[in-house]
Amino acid sequence: GKKLGYTFNHRNLHNVSLGQGQEVVAEQALDLAAKEGHWVILQNIHLVAKWLSTLEKKLEQHSEGSHQDFRVFISAEPAPCPESHIIPQGILENSIKITSEAPTGMHANLHKALDNFSQDTLEMCSQEKEFRSILFALCYFHAVVAERRKFGPQGWNRSYPFSTGDLTISVSVLYNYLEASSKVPYDDLRYLVGEIMYGGHITDDWDRRLCRTYLEEFIKPEMLEGELCLAPGFPLPGNMDYNGYHQYIDDSLPPESPHLYGLHPNAEIGFLTQRSEQLLRTVLELQPRDSNTAQGAVGTREEMVQALLEDILEKLTEEFNMAELLAKVEERTPYAVVALQECERMNALTAEMRRSLTELELGLKGELTMTSNMETLQNSLFLDTVPESWVRRSYPSTASLGSWFADLLARISELEAWTRDFSLPSTLWLGGFFNPQSILTAVMQTTARKNKWPLDKMTLQCDVTKKSREDFASAPREGAYLHGLFMEGARWDAQAGTIADARLKELTPAIPVMFIKAIPDDKQDTRGLYPCPLYKTRQRGPTYVWTFNLKTKENPSKWVLAGVALLLQV
């Protein structure tokens, strides 16, 4: 529920804000109220976790023999995660629960944002037209940033607790600035709202860019000339009264769709698909875990795990002989160092896989006592998920165990081919590296050494070719060819050589081979380019790898709002 932001002074009502040693006061208030038939309001009980068992006993004690008018109202902030659910079950079972659910959809969010103000608010500024236009734009901005989180990582890399307080303070800042200046300070307003009021919550640089871009699109001089659209088919309204704005939302706001957020309709498909997969995964995990053969099943749980275990051990290749590889390396070039590091990491992973699987095999045969780690591994194999001990030594991946293992074998094959003579492959599978940043840095190091350029003054220039991997027989003289990249939120138009709108139901189209080479910072031309983040998986966030500047004929802000990114795995 919501915290109560006010205090009652009525003699028959006791209002106690918990925390800072107010527990004794609360107990006294409960005892008096139970006797006299008063009401008690206990605010912020989430701040006094250790006292909640005492409160439960007090309420149980007063449940019988107390005055018939005695009532207790309790408020707490919502718990951020299941581990923070601290309110005793006895209190929950014996209470009438009321929650304040956030509205869903742009229509409800925009109405709720506007509900924070009144006709008096609209009339309080001397620059009335400017104030009303920017206030409505801020309401739309607030609704967008609050609701965009439903699209997962394509919406925001991380989830942020934007609140109505951010909106009301932003409007107060707007009022103060307009009263103090005859001209609208657009830059100042965008900075204060985007970098401080809302930006104060944001911890990811790409999310900060998104927030800033929204404000650049919504708050600019064109808004006063009737030329600004907050979304396709939804122009910024003119000068209206308070009820007029609510009516305008009902009459003019298009139906709910990703377009209202600047996203492509595919974003909703991806979001709903992931939700469905999570639901089905949860249902799968809830099934009984006994060893009996289920009706229609292929075999018992142990038999299925044993078969999978044997299959993995049979296909798993021997570890790389690091001594032999080191002897084979004639010169420890940046590329050779990367190859050796990748082999070492692969050895650590495959060694753990072989050890844990062999141990589980002995446990299933009865030759070893089954431990909790072995049972966890068995459950993972049965549910087709990558075991935790493997994940810790692995690379970020959202794939099921079967797909993950096939991908692992492909990575090993690529490494075997590369380490035969340590010559750079004709095209590099960037997604096949444990640490993709290392090979991109190696490209810059090689060029820096060759031309005697300072490494910290260099950047990577990328050009997307029109060819596929099979069209390249050898590596370039300088730089490298990359394959195996995908784009989310848009697609690459190979004929035009630019980013283009995605096709419906093509969620992550592959892009052709990319040529990268290192150049000095001052030689980089950023005009007509979209700085596109590259991530390892669709989870984005902490899987960030690099930034590639891709050509675009449209304003780069379009692709920022659409959440366009390159991915190494889909």
Res 298: pLDDT: 52
φ/ψ (deg, to 5) at 346: -65, -40
- Report which DSSP code applies to 431: G
Contact by Cβ (8 Å): 289, 376: no
In terms of Cβ atoms closer than 10 Å to its own Cβ (0-12, 13-18, 19+), residue 569 is: buried
How far apart CA 563 and CA 157 sit, in angstroms, is: 10
Instruction: Indicate the angle between helix axes 128-147 and 205-218, nearest 10 degrees.
Output: 150
In 3D, which of 231, 276, 239 has the Cα closest to residue 109? 231
In 3D, which of 503, 507, 458 has the Cα closest to residue 479? 458
- Report which DSSP code applies to 510: B
More confidently predicted of 297 and 532: 532
CA atoms within 13 A on the CB side of 17: 7
How would residue 456 be classed by pLDDT, with cut points 50, 70 and 90?
Answer: confident
pLDDT above 50 (res 337): yes
Q: Give alpha helix (H) positions in 239-291.
A: 242-252, 266-285
Going along the chain from its start, the domains and CATH numbers come out as 2-94 (3.40.50.300), 106-265 (1.10.8.720), 299-423 (1.20.1270.280), 425-569 (3.10.490.20)
How far apart CA 334 and CA 332 sit, in angstroms, is: 7
How does pLDDT run across 303-326, given as a tens digit for each residue? 888 999 999 999 998 999 999 999
Res 9: pLDDT: 46
Res 86: pLDDT: 83
How does pLDDT run across 496-523, given as a tens digit for each residue? 999 999 999 999 999 999 999 999 988 8
- Report which DSSP code applies to 196: I
pLDDT above 80 (res 20): no
Contact by Cβ (8 Å): 20, 27: no
How would residue 289 be classed by pLDDT, with cut points 50, 70 and 90?
Answer: low
pLDDT above 70 (res 295): no
How would residue 3 be classed by pLDDT, with cut points 50, 70 and 90?
Answer: very low
Res 105: pLDDT: 87
What is the identity of the amino acid at 232? P
Residue 126's SS3 state is coil
How far apart CA 280 and CA 287 sit, in angstroms, is: 11
Identify the residue whose tokens are 């707007």.
174
Q: What percent of the chain has pLDDT over 70?
A: 95
More confidently predicted of 561 and 159: 561
Q: What is the mean pLDDT of residues 321-337?
A: 90
What is the identity of the amino acid at 555? N
How does pLDDT run across 347-357, given as a tens digit for each residue? 999 999 999 99
In 3D, which of 404, 399, 388, 403 has the Cα closest to residue 537? 399
Asked which of 250-264, 266-280, 458-472, 500-514 is least confident by mean pLDDT, the reply is 266-280
Asked which of 1-5, 86-90, 126-130 is least confident by mean pLDDT, the reply is 1-5
- Tell me the residue ranges of DSSP E strands in 413-504: 428-429, 458-464, 480-483, 486-488, 491-493, 498-500
pLDDT above 90 (res 250): yes
More confidently predicted of 202 and 2: 202
How would residue 464 be classed by pLDDT, with cut points 50, 70 and 90?
Answer: very high
Sign of CA dihedral 49, 54, 57, 61: negative
Q: What is the mean pLDDT of residues 476-494?
A: 94
pLDDT above 70 (res 336): yes
How would residue 97 be classed by pLDDT, with cut points 50, 70 and 90?
Answer: confident
How does pLDDT run across 360-410, given as a tens digit for each residue? 999 888 888 888 889 999 989 988 899 999 999 999 998 899 999 999 999
